[in-house]
Amino acid sequence: MLYSTYRPQTFKEVSGQEQNLVTLREQAKTKNYDSAYIFAGHRGTGKTTLARILSRVICCESPTADGPCNQCANCSSMLKDTTLDCIELDAASHNSINDIKELIASTKYTPTVLPKKIYIIDEVHNLSGSAFDALLKTIEEPPKHCIFILCTTELHKIPATIRSRCSIYQFNALSAGTIRDRLTYVLQELQKEYDEDAVNLIARQADGSMRDALSIMEKLMISCSRLTVEHVKKCLCLMDDEVSLEMLSAVIKNDSVCAIRLLRKIYEEGKSLSLLVDNILHCVVDGIVLYISWGETALHRSDEHLKETSHIPCPSDYELRPSGYQFQLYQIVRDCRTEQLYWYVEQFSILREKIRDSLNPYMDVLIYIIKCCTPKLLSDSESSLLARISELEQSVAELQENIDSTVSSTDGTIQIRDSSRRETSPEPLEKEDTHPANDGSVEIPSPVKTEDASLPTENPDGPISPSLMQESPISPIETAADDYDVLGLLSDYL
């Protein structure tokens, strides 16, 4: 196995755990070691490997700054596993209280060859409660010639009473860049041909575990003479980035017809829907990172220039993607709002958890795809509210522009007409009886006087301005009334 063949043997060969190596190297210089250690963290990050290196450093006859010499008798016996003073216990299969009692009984005896007795308990979180209780007193007050190194991937399962009596070293998941460098080193040692994109793809699929990466690469090397991207995708049943990008583009454009057609095609080809959802989720997260890191830079750059400068540094390990992936993804998310992308992350995260135990994952994925393509149908959704707010903001902006244009056309002043000076229609005139009397005399009616209500008789504020006179001209009704009286008189007389 490659992970056993290329297991680090010194501090210098350990990758990705620099924060822990600083403390351990200082202890190696001063030879002042703790009585109990806890190495906790992600799988395949070097916990057991570093525990073995530390045990050899403690017992080495001539240790160096890089770790044990691996040449002396003590180091050789520990490497060959022929010494009885270094005991490694697998707690996954030896987790009973009887196993721990047997281990505690052996601590009473001094080491036979090595200067210290080293106890490495791997997967210590699998010990039973009674086994932890039995181990507590020995961990708290161990013999001077004994050192315990506990390794676990689930620190929270270790009782607090045990944790408080040990020095805890947290092991973080390895970055894809660190795994890529190690894989490249191994391939060069084996003199194997490879494509850089293929190595990057393996590093991303390892999920922070160096052991998983080496196991995947060993499996691929058996079936091919050269590592290529196509071979990696075929052997690992991976989905092309183009498929995930096409689906994400359809969702962002609210093209539900295209998204449903693409989903049906993926389902008929027998590809994993769980993998599709996971890839889309990763694409959205990558898009948020690119949107933030490229946003200010890309505003003043052309598409051709962005395509040529796809090496713009981005956070995390997204630079391990193919060069065209970043540009295509940015073209998809560049016109989106960040709130919209966060909403997609939330929806696809919920979908990923839902389809794990679903009896009909295709139906679940289909419903969520339609939901993401039609956010306006969800009146109570955050995306719908954001869309409404955006429309209201646009309406307010248009109204503000209209107001500004109106004010500018009137030289910055707005004329307000006085409601008291509005033109009013005069009261209807009463037609008087103009027929001649019985005595033959003609009665001439007196002319009716009307006042124009639109013109004030008095102006308490001073003389009326010409502009007001022009705006409120004299109504011609008064003249018409006078003509009416004269004509009526003549008609009656004749």
Look at residue 487 in the predicted model and tell me its pLDDT. 52
pLDDT given for residue 135 in this prediction: 93
Beta-strand runs (E) in 14-116: 36-41, 86-90
How much is the pLDDT for 272? 87
Structural contact between residues 319 and 311, judged by C-beta atoms closer than 8 angstroms: yes
Domains delineated in the chain: 2-171 (3.40.50.300), 176-236 (1.10.8.60), 249-373 (1.20.272)
Residue-level pLDDT at 391 = 77
Q: How many CB atoms lie within 10 A of CB 298?
A: 20
Measured at the CA of 303, the angle between CA 297 and CA 305, to 5 degrees, comes to: 70
Q: What is the pLDDT of residue 411?
A: 54
Provide the CB-side half-sphere exposure for 425 (13 A, CA): 3
Phi/psi of residue 200, each to 5°? -60, -40
Percent of the chain with pLDDT over 70: 73
pLDDT of residue 297: 52
Amino acid 126: pLDDT: 94
Other C-beta atoms lying within 10 Å of the C-beta of residue 281 = 19
Q: What is the pLDDT of residue 2?
A: 85
Contact yes or no for 217/190 (Cβ under 8 A)? no
Query: pLDDT for 41-52, tens place per residue?
Result: 999 999 999 999
- Answer for the pair 195, 322: CB distance below 8 angstroms, yes or no: no
How far is C-alpha 52 from the chain's CA centre?
38
**Residues 255 and 373: beta-carbon distance below 8 Å:** yes
What is the phi/psi pair of residue 227, to 5°? -80, 120
Residue numbers in the chain where pLDDT is lower than 50: 298-303, 305-320, 379, 414-426, 429-438, 440, 442, 448-461, 463-477, 479-481, 484, 486, 490, 493
Angle at which helix 273-298 crosses helix 338-354, to 10 degrees, equals 160
Please name the residues in contact with 76: beta carbons below 8 A apart, sequence gap of 6 or more: 70
| Burial of 424 (C-beta count, 10 Å sphere; 0-12/13-18/19+) | exposed
Task: Give dist(CA 346, CA 355) in Å, integer.
Answer: 15
